[in-house]
Amino acid sequence: MEFDKLDISILKELQRNGRISNRDLARKVSLSPSPCWRRLHGLENAGIINHYAAVLDRHKVGLPILGFAHITLHDHYPETVRKFDEAIMGAPQVLECHATSGEHDYMLKVVAKDMLSYQEFLSNDLLATGVVRTVNTSFVLKQQKNTTVLPLEQLSRWGG
């Protein structure tokens, strides 16, 4: 999809503040409220804006453990992948799951309240599927950067 300067401005403002009112958004991007709402609605309908959410501080809600688990399956048969997918979709502590190239099949971003909870997730949810050959987890010691803001300036000549 091609984005013009106004689309990019709207998306940038929404990434900064997803709760901004249409009136304030329109003012910030130099549009009147009706055209701003139409553009916003178009971006939502096109699936460019996937959803709106509150970003929580995992430490303050009691989930200080963050790990990246590299998963290798026993094989890649459809039934194996289906079992793995079902386990991951049913695991609320898995924030992200990515099929990857390279040495491992998947990378999971996982949160937990403590190491015991993480170990229970591994044993009771992941390894219990019977389809996982190996799990190698790297735990986050210090988070250098955490953002959900996409670099929209790369999308067109109007960014910046």
Q: Is the pLDDT of residue 56 over 70?
A: yes
Other Cβ atoms closer than 10 A to 88: 18
Query: Mean of the per-residue pLDDT values for the chain?
Result: 95
| pLDDT number for residue 157 | 61
Q: Is the pLDDT of residue 158 over 60?
A: no
Q: Is the pLDDT of residue 159 over 80?
A: no
Residue 132 β-bridge partners: 73
Identical fold between 5-54 and 65-139: no
| pLDDT number for residue 155 | 76
| pLDDT number for residue 3 | 87
Fold of 65-139: Alpha-Beta Plaits (3.30.70)
The closest of 33, 15, 13 to 23, measured between CA atoms, is 33
**Backbone Cα Rg of the chain:** 20
CB 84 within 8 A of CB 131: yes
| pLDDT number for residue 1 | 72
| pLDDT number for residue 153 | 82
Q: What residue segments make up the domains of the chain, in order of their start? A: 5-54, 65-139
Fold of 5-54: Arc Repressor Mutant, subunit A (1.10.10)
Tens of pLDDT along 67-110? 999 999 999 999 999 999 999 999 999 999 999 999 999 999 99
Q: What is the pTM of this model?
A: 0.87
